Every structure is written in structure tokens, then in C-alpha cells.
Structure 1
Amino acid sequence: MIYTKLPHTELEVSKICLGTMTWGRQNTEIEGHEQMDYAFEQGINFFDTAELYPIPPHPDRFADTEKIIGTWFKKTGNRDKIILASKIAGKAEFTKFIRTTGFRRESLI
């Protein structure tokens, strides 16, 4: 695996990032765990997620992908070995159920 340093940090991330937007809808928790196991075994240490995953966003499943990643971290103990990139949902009609507190710093934290 090829790694690169994130600018202005000492973090080295794999050039390949594992996307997770299907876990909890198109893929089950077990399949998500299998995909993370495989990626990790190949040297991938960079995972991407978002609070609105899985896609398409829905009030009954938002953040399910993040929960699946969390159960994998708990099961494997690999949290300190993965760089997890996450994104917030922007203002849109289809994401209004995610954040009702606005986009101030305090709300996002």
C-alpha cells in the first residue's frame, strides 16, 4: 500500500480510502465488517463516512453506517489504527431531519 502524509500533520493515510455509504442499506453490518477487515488486511487505514449515510438518507437509518463502523472498532480494537474522515450533512430538504440545531460550531460538536 502507498501512503501519504496529510498536509500540516504527521498522519499517514493510505492512497486508497474505503467508502462506506452503503452500509446499513445495500450492505449489512456483517458485510460492512467483512469489507473493513479486507481493507485493513490490504493496508488501507483511511475510511470515509458521513452522518447521513447510508444513502439515500432516511430518518429511520441515518448514522447507521457510523454505528457499523463503531461496532467494527469495538470488535477489532483497531480504532487507533484508522483515520476516519467524516462529513456533516448540508442544508437541504432531504437532510432536515438530521440537524435541527443549526450549523454553529457548538451544534456540530
Structure 2
Amino acid sequence: MASALITSVDHQNFDAEVVQSDLPVLIDFWAPWCGPCIALNPTIDAVAALYEGRVKVVKANLDESKELADRFGVRGIPALFLLKQGEVLQGIHAQTKTRICVELDKHLA
């Protein structure tokens, strides 16, 4: 499901891919049965390409990553969070590329 620029994460590789990342990480909680999640995929792909080398983009399948969803208090999907060294900088409630970019840029200046 993930593009070449997007890594899939779960509780097993979360530390290696997210906590130990030198870059801020945008994590997208999603599920294959979630229509809005599927609709957001092209936007997430575009953001990953636009911020390549500045922000790492990862996806966590809710069905396979319940531990992570609980850890972040995910109650609805899609759910986006920006993290630095595993700590949440911001939950991002935007659903458009422009709004997501505005939120990312606040932390990259």
C-alpha cells in the first residue's frame, strides 16, 4: 500500500523507523476498509514526495498496529501525527495537501 517513499510501521519496527529517525516523522494511521483513508493516500504520497529528505512519512495499518493506535490515542481514522524522536509534536487534522504542508512547515522553519 505504501509508495517507495513511505514506510509501513507497526509496534515491532516503530522504534527503528520512527523514534530513531533523524528526521521529523509524519505517521498516518489508516485501514484498508476506511474510505477516507484510501482517498487520502494520493495526498500522503504527494506530501512524502514534496518533503523527501526533510520529513519521513510512515503508515500504520490500524488493524495490524492496535498497540500503536492505543499509544497515540487514535479514536478515528485517518489520523495524522507529526513526531520528532518518537514524541508527538502535533496531531494534524487537515485532509488537504495544502493544509498538511502548512502544519508541517510550522515545525520545519
Question: TM-score, length-normalised on structure 1?
Answer: 0.29
- If asked which structure has higher relative contact order (CA below 8 Å, sep 6+), I would say 2
* Structure number, greater radius of gyration: 1
Q: By percentage of residues, which structure has more strand?
A: 2
Question: TM-score, length-normalised on structure 2?
Answer: 0.29
